[in-house]
């Protein structure tokens, strides 16, 4: 870490970023809120969310040389990196941003031109496309000092991050989690704890900082509170009418993914939770006429979030729960600052994609009952095969057990080239009719 890099980073953090964010507020004056048909006024704190994420990406440009920089997969135990003050960037979060900004397909094509197949995860192709071109809606991403991954969400991240490690010529640390065919054994947890402990010397070397056990404990404490508050936020949608939609939750998920373990994420979620609780007390729903309550399965179709949100709202249908955003709250109960290594092993090995389909079926059944769901929309994502496998069986079993109407949309998380508008609309129209019978 150099003196000039430190000076530049902290100047931009304490002076530059506040000035730029303030100037942005002045130049983009907020006039009267324009309501989309079918919606009540949007959440006020959405402006704060934009500021937080814009600041995060802006400051990342100045982090190299001032802080160690790590690129991290969404399922990796980032808490341990927080103990060494790493500046973290999440390529999956960046991939979602590229998809939402309609840049996903362009970056995917660049990766494909360098030999990567179109069947590869869109997040991976976007990330590799960014490496080859430097293109990003975030302005510029910092070169990482470390790649930090876990295979608890899929095996693709292992090969994706190995490719990045080769291109950038930097180390890769992998947290290997045994898959939950059945309950994990004591040996499995011992194996994971030893991995986490073995990371310490390498992280000390890369960061130039000595490991402090109390620092890790404090990061785990903040992470647990953040995850718990996120769970409370999702829980407000049990109310009728629900104060926000899952499409809102897809956007507000960003801090718990990218900034987990940092006070800024917890502070923001406390603000969001207070606003949602106020809306529940006043009976203000996300949509004007909530007639049907729906559940979403799988990652968002980022380039169609607005269109789908408008379409379902026009039919008086609100998504009140899902399996995707729930993943950042469901393992919160395992977090324990008193025994951080053991708790991290439990938390990150028991995410939904690292467990068998029966667990996912039970989770979906519970959410359907708890949130009083009338219909289920399943996104079969070409990019995310671990998430999409077994969905037709899940659909059939849930219809048999609960008699719930359901539909499968075949699409992709961030590559719009595989989205068939006409086919999707035909399926959704049939789904809408089934809910009215």
User: Can you list the alpha helix ranges (DSSP code H) found in 322-356?
Assistant: 340-349
pLDDT of residue 18: 83
Q: Distance between CA atoms of 360 and 394, rounded to whole angstroms? A: 9
Q: What residues form DSSP beta bridges with 89?
A: 71
pLDDT of residue 398: 97
How many other C-beta atoms are found inside a 10 Å radius of the C-beta of residue 19? 10
pLDDT of residue 336: 94
More confident residue, 20 or 292: 292
Inter-CA distances, 61 with 10, 172, 175, Å: 12, 21, 27
Task: Return the sign of the alpha-carbon dihedral for residues 230, 277, 264, 49.
Answer: positive
Query: In whole numbers, what is the pLDDT of the chain averaged over residues?
Result: 94
Q: Return the structure tokens found at 195.
A: 């991995």
Element (H, E) at 278: helix 263-282
Q: At what angle do helices 122-133 and 91-100 cross, to 10 degrees?
A: 90
Q: Rounded to 10 degrees, what is the CA torsion of 59, 62, 66, 70?
A: 70
Q: How many residues does the chain have?
A: 437
Q: Distance between CA atoms of 149 and 174, rounded to whole angstroms? A: 5
Tell me: pLDDT of 376 over 90. Answer: yes
Q: Which of 177, 105, 178, 74 is nearest to 382 (CA)?
A: 105
Question: pLDDT grade, residue 409 (50/70/90)?
Answer: very high
- For the stretch 173-227, pLDDT in tens is 999 999 988 889 999 999 999 999 999 999 999 999 999 999 999 999 999 999 9
Per-residue pLDDT averaged across 326-350, rounded?
95
Element (H, E) at 407: strand 405-411
- Peptide bond just before 241 cis, omega within 30 deg: yes
Tell me: pLDDT of 29 over 60. Answer: no
User: Can you list the alpha helix ranges (DSSP code H) found in 40-141?
Assistant: 46-60, 79-82, 91-100, 104-113, 122-133
Q: Distance between CA atoms of 269 and 278, rounded to whole angstroms? A: 14
Tell me: pLDDT of 26 over 60. Answer: no
Per-residue pLDDT averaged across 57-81, rounded?
96
Per-residue pLDDT averaged across 37-61, rounded?
94
pLDDT of residue 249: 98
More confident residue, 123 or 19: 123
> For the chain, how far is it from start to end, CA to CA, in angstroms?
65
Per-residue pLDDT averaged across 351-367, rounded?
96
pLDDT of residue 163: 98
pLDDT of residue 72: 98
pLDDT of residue 52: 95
Q: Distance between CA atoms of 321 and 311, rounded to whole angstroms? A: 17
Helix (H, G, I), strand (E, B) or coil at 376: strand
Largest CA distance in the chain: 69
pLDDT of residue 344: 97
pTM for the whole thing? 0.95
Q: Distance between CA atoms of 283 and 183, rounded to whole angstroms? A: 42
Inter-CA distances, 291 with 86, 250, 428, 431, Å: 46, 22, 17, 15
> Contact, 375 vs 291, CB < 8 A?
no
- For the stretch 163-173, pLDDT in tens is 999 999 999 99
Tell me: pLDDT of 239 over 90. Answer: yes
Q: Return the structure tokens found at 236.
A: 């407000």
């Amino acid at each position: 870490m150099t003196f000039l890099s430190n000076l530049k980073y902290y100047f931009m953090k304490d002076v530059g970023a506040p000035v730029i964010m303030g100037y942005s507020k002045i130049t983009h004056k907020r006039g009267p809120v324009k309501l989309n048909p079918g919606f009540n006024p949007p959440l006020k704190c959405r402006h704060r969310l934009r500021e937080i994420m814009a600041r995060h990406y802006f400051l990342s440009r100045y982090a190299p040389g001032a802080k160690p920089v790590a690129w991290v997969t969404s399922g990796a135990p980032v808490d341990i990196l927080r103990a060494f003050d790493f500046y973290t960037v999440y390529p999956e979060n960046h991939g979602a941003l590229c998809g939402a900004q309609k840049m996903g397909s362009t970056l995917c094509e660049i990766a494909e031109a360098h030999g990567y197949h179109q069947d590869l995860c869109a997040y991976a192709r976007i990330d590799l496309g960014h490496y080859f071109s430097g293109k990003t809606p975030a302005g510029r991403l910092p070169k990482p000092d470390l790649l930090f991954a876990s295979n608890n969400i899929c095996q693709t991240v292992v090969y994706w991050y190995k490719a990045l490690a080769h291109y950038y010529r930097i180390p890769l640390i992998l947290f290997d989690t045994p898959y939950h065919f059945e309950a994990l054994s004591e040996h499995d947890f011992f194996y994971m704890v030893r991995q986490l402990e073995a990371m310490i010397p390498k992280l000390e070397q890369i960061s130039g900082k000595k490991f402090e056990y109390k620092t890790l404990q404090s990061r785990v404490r903040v992470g647990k509170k953040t995850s718990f508050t996120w769970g409370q936020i999702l829980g407000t949608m049990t109310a009728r009418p629900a104060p926000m939609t899952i499409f809102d939750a897809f956007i507000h998920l960003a801090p718990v993914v990218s900034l987990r373990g940092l006070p800024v994420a917890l502070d923001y979620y406390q603000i969001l939770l207070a606003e949602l609780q106020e809306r529940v007390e006043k009976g203000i729903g996300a949509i004007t006429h909530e007639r049907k309550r729906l559940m979403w399965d799988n990652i968002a179709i980022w380039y169609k979030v607005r269109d789908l949100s408008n379409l379902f709202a026009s039919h008086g249908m609100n998504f009140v729960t899902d399996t995707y955003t729930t993943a950042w709250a469901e393992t919160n109960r395992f977090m324990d600052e008193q025994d951080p290594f053991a708790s991290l092993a439990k938390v990150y090995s028991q995410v939904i994609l690292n467990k068998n389909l029966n667990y996912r079926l039970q989770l979906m059944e519970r959410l359907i009952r708890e949130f009083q769901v009338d219909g289920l929309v399943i996104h079969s994502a070409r990019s995310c095969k671990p998430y999409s496998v077994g969905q037709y069986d899940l659909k059939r079993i849930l219809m048999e057990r609960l008699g719930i109407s359901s539909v499968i949309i075949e699409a992709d998380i961030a590559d719009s080239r595989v989205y068939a508008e006409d086919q999707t609309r035909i399926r959704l129209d049939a789904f809408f009719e089934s809910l009215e019978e």
